[in-house]
Amino acid sequence: MPLPRIESLKPYVPGLTIDEIRDKYNLRNIIKLASNENPLGASPLVQDAIARYAPFSFRYPQGGNPRLAAAIAARHGVSPRSIAIGNGSDEIIDILIRIFAQSERHNIVCFDPCFSIYPIQATINGNMLRRAPLAEDFTFDFSALLNLVDAATRLVFITTPDNPSGFCPARENIAEFAASLARQAPQAYLVIDEAYMDFAEDEKRLSLLASHNIPANAIFLRTFSKSYGLAGLRLGYAVMPESVADLFWRVRLPFSVNILAEEAGLAALEDEAFRKATLETVSQGRNFLASGLAGLGCTVWPSAANFLLFKLPPGSLAAGQCHEALLKEGIIIRPLGSYGMDDYLRVSVGNPRENGIFLNALAKIIGERSCQSLQ
């Protein structure tokens, strides 16, 4: 008999893939702006590293990924003993929940809406979920979050910049919340998911990880999936207290990060030129898309990430219809029903060509609709 909580589980809803849409609509050229992937593709240094290490695919990777941990630690100026590495940061989220909160007596606190892996993995592991609504404008109500915390709280998850809104709270506010959490629930850890922090214009000022006073209860999640362009290889990492990292490495399956992903991660950290080009492409593309969407009458939320949250103009078609109409044009963006945000859409920042094609298609779809309503 499966566990009832597993039988009633709603699975993670990923962005549609290019293959799915190609087959369904019989299209040749498809633009995917649904999963916040890198607009420049994979770095040439990464592709070389994968080719060079392909002959070693028959070997097991080295346990504990020590070379990659050292390179990541150097990038952040922390001890290698505080680094955890996983098969995507998704795996790290799951392991943290399993380390700290395996029973129904413990609760996990997060915002609603939030990145759905937190509630899904919490539910799989049998934990009670407590969720504080985001403010109307998608900013964080930290006091509502703190109100949900008690002696049974083990983990609190926040995302900054946030997905799907792009909102980035001031790091002073996060530091204050971490301090309040430490007073109210000294047993709990604050997991700060910074998957998109690289794209924030002023990372040094916005990330607590870059500050001199890292709170003792903070765990920072980062990923190679977005700014480093390795989403398909599955590689994420975290900076955490050494005592927690020690537990992490005992729980993680010994070889969950494969040999090519590890080499790709090392090469990606070396490729400063690619990283710089990515950040510039995203910064310019984000401005271009934000003003283009606003020009079409859409409401666009300010974003520090590589995507934009938007709403169609009042009286225009429904978000779901617009998503379908774009699919027929070969453009995949992200509907947000799985976040409980039926009226909203999220578009990843693509390269200049993709951004232009997307805006033109959207203008056509919105325009056709307003002609129809005049008839």
Ligand X SMILES: *Cc1c(COP(=O)(O)O)cnc(C)c1O
Binding site for ligand X (CB under 6 A): 36, 88-90, 115, 159, 163, 193, 195, 223, 225-226, 231, 236
- C-alpha to C-alpha distance for 216 and 15, rounded to whole angstroms: 35
- C-alpha to C-alpha distance for 323 and 68, rounded to whole angstroms: 40
- Give whichever of 123 and 163 is closer to ligand X, judged by the CB atom: 163
User: Least distance from C-beta 121 to ligand X, angstroms?
Assistant: 11
User: Least distance from C-beta 159 to ligand X, angstroms?
Assistant: 5
- Give whichever of 249 and 313 is closer to ligand X, judged by the CB atom: 249
Could you give the C-alpha distances from 353 to 285, 288, 357, in angstroms and in order? 10, 11, 6
Determine which helix (DSSP H) or strand (DSSP E) holds 335, and give its type and residue range.
strand 334-335
- Give whichever of 94 and 329 is closer to ligand X, judged by the CB atom: 94
Contact 41/230 with Cβ under 8 angstroms? no
- Give whichever of 193 and 271 is closer to ligand X, judged by the CB atom: 193
User: Least distance from C-beta 214 to ligand X, angstroms?
Assistant: 20
SS3 content of the chain, % helix, strand, coil (to 5): 45, 15, 40
User: Least distance from C-beta 231 to ligand X, angstroms?
Assistant: 6
- For the chain, give the longest Cα–Cα distance: 68
Residue 84's Cβ-count burial label (10 Å; 0-12, 13-18, 19+) is buried
- C-alpha to C-alpha distance for 268 and 47, rounded to whole angstroms: 10
- Give whichever of 236 and 292 is closer to ligand X, judged by the CB atom: 236
- Give whichever of 153 and 223 is closer to ligand X, judged by the CB atom: 223
- Give whichever of 195 and 317 is closer to ligand X, judged by the CB atom: 195
- Give whichever of 16 and 359 is closer to ligand X, judged by the CB atom: 16
- Give whichever of 121 and 316 is closer to ligand X, judged by the CB atom: 121
User: Least distance from C-beta 267 to ligand X, angstroms?
Assistant: 17
Contact 191/158 with Cβ under 8 angstroms? yes
User: Least distance from C-beta 181 to ligand X, angstroms?
Assistant: 20
User: Least distance from C-beta 297 to ligand X, angstroms?
Assistant: 28
Contact 261/234 with Cβ under 8 angstroms? yes
Position closest to ligand X via CB: 88
Could you give the C-alpha distances from 55 to 51, 52, 58, 231, 325, in angstroms and in order? 8, 7, 7, 22, 44
User: Least distance from C-beta 114 to ligand X, angstroms?
Assistant: 8
Contact 228/194 with Cβ under 8 angstroms? no
User: Least distance from C-beta 83 to ligand X, angstroms?
Assistant: 15
Q: Which two tokens stand for residue 284?
A: 């310019």
Question: What is the DSSP code string of 237-274?
Answer: EEE--HHHHHHHHHHS-TTSS-HHHHHHHHHHHH-HHH
The single-letter DSSP state of residue 164 is T
